Amino acid sequence: MNYAYIRCLPSDRDMAAQKETLGTHPVDEWVREEEYQENEALDALLERLGAGDVVYVQSLVTLAHSPAHLMAILENVSEKKAVIRFHREEIDSDQPLSLNLEQMVRMFTEFQSETVSLATKTGIDRAREKGVSTGRPRKKDKNVREALRMYRSNLYTLAEIREKTNISKTTLYRYLAQEKNGDE
């Protein structure tokens, strides 16, 4: 049996890109993982794989969260005499690789980098859903108001304003521009 395994990714939430890519292969059944960090559908698929079955995935990062996770999956699939075909990397789990060491290290470095990036993006998305703001914290309004008051009085230098309020020249000018444009 031929399976296509697709996973919700921050860059492909509806999995359309994966469907398009894997749609070119002879797929009998689609297996969908609705959340990036979950493996329920993957685990169920691995349980029912048999000899000669083929699983198509878009890339290494679609299948596994880490090199150790990938190794465990590959061992499981190999024991069952099934095959995983990685579309982007153009490799099959049952074929010897004709890559030199540099190419192999590059491929696994990219895989690890992508898994870290996806985990980070997923965490940021979940934090935003909970209402957590990301990025650099805003300056305290009291300090900004004091810096603006000092600047408008024309009695203080920018260095004195910075020293007393801990508001930089750039930040001060940004707040002045926002006031001028009515962006408060």
Are the C-beta atoms of residues 7 and 33 closer than 8 Å to each other?
yes
Domains along the chain with CATH numbers: 2-96+113-129 (3.40.50.1390), 141-181 (no CATH)
Tokens of 96: 């010897």
pLDDT in tens, 8-30: 888 888 899 999 999 999 999 99
| CA pseudo-torsion sign 104, 105, 110, 112 | positive
Is pLDDT of 60 > 60? yes
Q: How confident is the model at residue 138 (pLDDT cuts 50, 70, 90)?
A: low
Q: Which pLDDT score, from 0 to 100, does residue 139 have? A: 61
Which residues, 6+ apart, have CB-to-CB distance to 5 below 8 Å? 31, 33, 41, 42, 45, 55, 56, 57, 62, 63
Mean of the pLDDT values across residues 139-161? 89
Q: What mean pLDDT, rounded, does the chain reach?
A: 89
Q: Which pLDDT score, from 0 to 100, does residue 4 have? A: 97
Q: How confident is the model at residue 48 (pLDDT cuts 50, 70, 90)?
A: very high
| CA pseudo-torsion sign 9, 14, 17, 18 | positive
Cα 33 to Cα 43: distance, rounded to the nearest angstrom? 10
Q: Which amino acid is at 25?
A: H
Instruction: Let me know if 61 is exposed, middle or buried by CB neighbors in 10 A (0-12, 13-18, 19+).
Output: buried
Q: What is the pTM of this model?
A: 0.66
Q: Of all residues in the chain, what percent carry a pLDDT higher than 90?
A: 51
Q: Which pLDDT score, from 0 to 100, does residue 50 have? A: 96
Are the C-beta atoms of residues 52 and 82 closer than 8 Å to each other?
yes
Q: Which pLDDT score, from 0 to 100, does residue 13 have? A: 84
| SS3 state at 85 | strand
